[in-house]
Chains A and B, each alone.
Chain A
Amino acid sequence: MEATFDSLLLGFSVAFRPDVLFYAFLGCLVGTLVGVLPGIGPLAGISILLPATFGLDATKAIVMLAGIYYGSQYGGSTTSILMRIPGEASSVMTCIDGYAMAKRGRAGAALTIAAVGSFVAGTLGVVLLTAVAPPIAKFALGFGPPEYTALLVLGLIFLAYMSSTGLPRTLLMAAVGLLLGCIGIDVMTGHFRYSFDIKELGDGIGIVPVAVGLFGLGEILSTPSKMVTEKVVPPRLIELLPTRSEWRQSAMPIARGSLLGFVVGIVPGSAHIIASFLSYAVEKRVSRTPEEFGKGAVAGVAGPESANNSASTGAFVPMLALGLPTGPVTAVLMAALLIHGVPPGPMLVNEHPQVFWGFIASMYVGNLMLLALNLPLVGVFVTVLRIPYAYLYPLIIMFCIIGVYEVNHSIVDVWIMLIMGIVGYLLRKFDFDPAPLVLGLVIAPIFELSLRQSLIMSNGNWLIFLERPIAQALLAVCLLLIGLALLSLRLKRRDWRAKLAEAEAGEGAEPG
């Protein structure tokens, strides 16, 4: 414990450097804007701005990019409450009661409760991250290739199980991602795979063009400007204070949402989305006045907003401690660390303590910055929403092109982005979630390497995965999850994932 405290002090000495503070602030500011703007989520925001971090060192880069991620969770609530448009997917549940509160003239109170809930949850999440990540990393130091293979399989199966689009569709997307990840030179044998004499494909397909195409351009293609409304009235500063009763009603939902969100955040999948949905369901279940939900219940704002923030922090645990991305956002953040020559995983704490602890300490500071940014400046952020979408989306396309081109100065990457934009548009039409595709692409090289190393180690004996206790346990969990998913398919049960799909599709379904 004392060692953790000393390390955290080291982290704060890094986080309080003026240059690191500046990039944390920049990340939080951009993240809030990304969260506020419908149609551009944290993934697209991080991907587009990734090349802008190339001139920075690893600490500043990850501090800024992570700031965008958790900042977007704060910003997402603004449009949900004021316009009933989720700025990003994890704010879907906030739309229901947040907008109902706004209609009753309590928009300011809803925004404050969302911001304070996000702050408490974000800070608690970082405290838990500080306590949990180092011991997990220490434990993972004993992992060999078979354990890593099993862990990555578990990650994919977990993602498929948690997905709202169903097991076969999610695994299909992950398989496409794994295949895309096989493009380029095979590092073990030097063979060119699927490069079709295009020399730029020799290095493989980058994560940035794929992520920006699927999530940035794909979203723009499926959003004509006539479908975007720009009417919004920001609350006055004086209206931001909740009443004593509203504070009382929000205290326990914030506490529950924070804990629930962190636990869900560790699990692979779109954790921040699932966490907000589960929190809403829990709050409705434990409430003495469940009939208030949907009509402006304070707990319906406080719980989900806390949960999605805490989950976004929880998602950093497997990324930092195991080198395992649990979703597309952490996958891109992991790619950012790799680009800066800092491989995330169990060795990170020992080999790059300044990056690890500096990053964690910056999150404490970042949460404070976000609280200070989000309340007094809500009017400023809402002004951004007044930019007509007809002018906004051409700007986003411009940033997509700049962002993707600047990674490798390769026009082939920009073409890949455009193709992925079309693919993303079509995937949405056919009800596929593109997130597992990005995850498959990111883990493909690690997965292939650990699988092949395991087989070479065992002289071709597949049983190596069943002979080592940790791998055995991880694969047993995989089997259990597949069994549960198949059972659910067989019974055609309309479980919480089906309800989540409805909520994400904006059909107004309420969790039961």
Chain B
Amino acid sequence: MQVRRDHVAGGAFVIAGVLVLAASTDLPFGTLASPGAGMLPTLVVVLMLALAASLLLDAGASPPIADIDWSDVMHALRVTVVTGAAVAVYTVLGFIASIALLLFALTFLLERKPLLHAAAFSIGATLLAYLLFATLLNAPLPRGFWQ
């Protein structure tokens, strides 16, 4: 059998639904006259499972999974890793250091821009953003261990 797009999508939602149901066991369903904290989540998960099952049943009409264009996946992966790293150090290093590093990594390492251009862009954009948010808009940005 050829694996199709909706086999994967429907299957993923079924697994997610079962996991949520398992995590809902400690929530009281209550009664109809006195609904508990678990009533809506349970009803919604059941609906989600039914809809996921309908996707699976109709999956034959969807395109084969191999037809999905994944040409951008490496770009997505790299951007996610770099952004994740910046988020991990955001409150530790503070706004200026972490964002400057994020911009530099994206422009120099990922986009292969010249070193000086990337460095000037990263430092300039970070300082401008700091000026705009921290100084003009009075939005407190994390200062990290420099504080």
- Residues of A bordering B, CB below 8 Å: 51-52, 54-55, 168-169, 171-172, 175-176, 178-179, 182, 186, 188-189, 191, 193-194, 217, 220-225, 227, 390-391, 393-395, 397-399, 401-402, 405-406, 409, 411, 414-415, 418, 421-422, 425, 429-432, 444, 447-448, 451-452, 455-456, 459-462
Contact = CB atoms under 8 A, between A and B. Distances in A.
Contacts of A176: 13, 48
Given A178-B40, A179-B45, A394 B102 contact: yes
Interface string B22-52: 0110011001111111111100110110011
B142 interface: yes
A402 B37 contact: no
B74 to A, nearest CB: 8
A52 B136 CA distance: 10
B28 A191 contact: yes
27 contacts: A54-B139, A169-B55, A172-B48, A172-B55, A175-B48, A176-B13, A179-B41, A179-B44, A186-B37, A188-B37, A191-B38, A217-B83, A221-B79, A223-B72, A391-B111, A391-B113, A394-B125, A397-B102, A402-B141, A405-B90, A411-B90, A415-B87, A429-B68, A430-B68, A447-B40, A452-B35, A455-B32
A246 to B, nearest CB: 39
B135 interface: no
Chain B: interface size category: 35 or more
Nearest to A177: B44
Nearest to B125: A395
B106 A393 contact: yes
Contact of A168 (B54, B91, B106): B54
Contacts of A414: 87, 90
Interface of B: 5-6, 8-9, 13, 20, 23-24, 27-28, 31-41, 44-45, 47-48, 51-52, 54-55, 58, 68, 70-72, 75-76, 79-80, 83-84, 86-87, 90-91, 95, 99, 102-103, 106-107, 111, 113, 121, 125-126, 129, 133, 137-142
B32 A460 contact: yes
A222 B68 CA distance: 13
Given A194-B23, A418-B84, A430-B8, A460 B91 contact: no
Could you say which of A168, A393, A415 has the most chain B C-beta atoms within 10 Å of its C-beta? Answer: A168
Nearest to B6: A430
Contact of B79 (A220, A401, A455, A459): A220
Contact of A425 (B28, B38, B76, B141): B76
B86 A171 contact: no
Contact of A398 (B27, B51, B102): B102
Given A182-B40, A398-B125, A171 B51 contact: yes
A227 to B, nearest CB: 8
Contacts of B47: 171, 175
A308 to B, nearest CB: 28
B77 to A, nearest CB: 9
Among all A-B residue pairs, the 10 with the closest Cβ atoms? A460-B32, A460-B33, A191-B37, A186-B37, A390-B111, A221-B76, A224-B75, A394-B106, A175-B48, A172-B51
